[in-house]
A and B are shown apart, each in its own frame.
Chain A
């Protein structure tokens, strides 16, 4: 019996076959995968997972694909780094960084969702894959499509960071730069997806694609020794990642892999694009779309598809949300780099900035086990920090010049 039962509308509950569709025909609500948990429960165990591959596919029983002919076989299972220095700086006893800056192959958490999406797209018989992206997703779709011999179109806003544009072109997909912001790109792609029989990973394949984010929850729990953290801080663009981490934790409980979920879910946005955090702080369960204006371009979604569900998950978990200025984003990137040796992209700066705020507000307490999700690599968003990291010290190739520059004596000593 298949582990997937159906696609089901999150609003009205109507069921559909597990094909490339994402919208309920009746009420226009989004569809998600409905699993056969009784069947999965018979198959899954801690031991089986621990004996599995060193990738996110060790959680195959909880992912919406049918076979094992994976696209992206090496994605996931990234380090959970004990962040003692940053913890001490912030006043936290037990802080961890879930480090997806080193995800394979394109250095962001998107390699997880794309591995699931393209594996499923191939199972459904597609030969052309596409996406609407703020950058990281396009990079990942481009790379995986190249490796899987799929035709590929990626649609990006016109103002992306240079490395995120290059990070598509090198794999030679069709890169379409749309004059507009992400929300314009996304709307256009929704219309294109209705006209062409392509697998748009985050449109008609979205019910499968989004499930890949659950692996960030599974890995965190396994890496903590099959325990849930007390607090997590998650960056929000569409809100999907946060929603799926919450879902992943509850699936583990439902399947008996853990006894309880006692995690508070906290969402992080940049002030220049914070429709979800703004709604949360105002106590609303709905958000107003915004026109994004922030250096955190990977999070610059003004009309977040899962905003409503992210608000719900955060409220259910008794968590919180906040937002930070672009200046605090840059400070967050530098703080993480200089305390833990991890160079995050702007979304990571948002996460660290909000983590800092939540500790200061007393929302996250000293003795709580806390995990911050760092979802992308700083080498892709160099523009954000290039003017605030100083320059190298330049010297002649001479010992004297070196010692003079660093005010050292001739026989060593001095370490200025």
Chain B
């Protein structure tokens, strides 16, 4: 299983859950499986062309996927994924 931490703005789609479990071989696949169990998630994370929105940040085991293979980054059992909208700070 892969643990996915859900940010506050997406929790209305996960019945308020801050963490959900899923199975997927890659980030892009994870978005699809999340979308089938929680319809609407994909539209929020991706734009019309299917690319991740500019202000969406995804981390696999605390690492920004842009330092890995982007949305093709592979996932395996036990991985933890965080979705962080509009990184703030500075």
Interface residues, chain A, with chain B CB atoms under 8 Å away: 11, 22-30, 132, 180, 182-184, 186-187, 189-191, 194-195, 200, 202-203, 206, 237-240, 286, 288-289, 291, 301, 303-306, 308
Contacts and interface: CB of A to CB of B under 8 A. Distances in A.
B16 to A, nearest CB: 12
Contact of B86 (A28, A195, A301): A28
A194 B7 contact: yes
Contact of A28 (B53, B66, B89): B53
B90 A28 contact: no
Nearest to A189: B89
A186 B54 CA distance: 18
A191 B56 CA distance: 14
A271 to B, nearest CB: 19
A295 B85 CA distance: 29
Given A26-B44, A186-B89, A308-B54, 20 more contacts: A23-B7, A23-B55, A27-B55, A28-B45, A30-B86, A132-B89, A183-B64, A184-B62, A186-B87, A187-B57, A187-B62, A187-B84, A190-B88, A191-B82, A195-B18, A206-B89, A239-B90, A303-B57, A303-B87, A304-B90
B59 to A, nearest CB: 6
Given A191-B5, A194-B8, A289-B64, A29 B89 contact: no
A116 B88 CA distance: 17
Interface of B: 5, 7-9, 18, 44-45, 53-57, 59, 62, 64, 66-67, 82, 84-90
Contact of A238 (B53, B57, B90): B90
Q: Is the interface of A mostly helix, strand, loop or mixed?
A: loop
B82 A187 contact: yes
A206 B45 CA distance: 22
5 contacts: A186-B89, A187-B82, A194-B18, A289-B67, A305-B87
Contacts of B18: 194-195
- Majority SS at the chain B contact face: mixed
A30 B84 contact: no
A306 B90 CA distance: 9
Q: By CB atoms of chain B within 10 A, which of A25, A27, A237, A306 has the most? A: A27
Contact of A288 (B59, B66, B86): B66
A11 B8 CA distance: 19
Contacts of A305: 86-90
Contact of B90 (A23, A240, A308): A240
A291 B63 CA distance: 11
B17 to A, nearest CB: 12
Nearest to A299: B90
Contacts of B85: 23, 28
A28 B67 CA distance: 21
A25 to B, nearest CB: 4
A196 B90 CA distance: 20
Nearest to B84: A190
B21 to A, nearest CB: 17
A115 B45 CA distance: 34
A28 B62 contact: no
A377 B45 CA distance: 41
Contacts of B7: 23, 190-191, 194
Which of A29, A184, A190, A206 has the largest count of B CB atoms less than 10 A from its CB? A190
Nearest to B52: A28
Contact of B88 (A182, A206, A239): A206
A11 B86 CA distance: 11
Contacts of B67: 289, 291
> Taking each of B7, B18, B86, which has the highest tally of chain A beta carbons within 10 Å of its own beta carbon?
B86
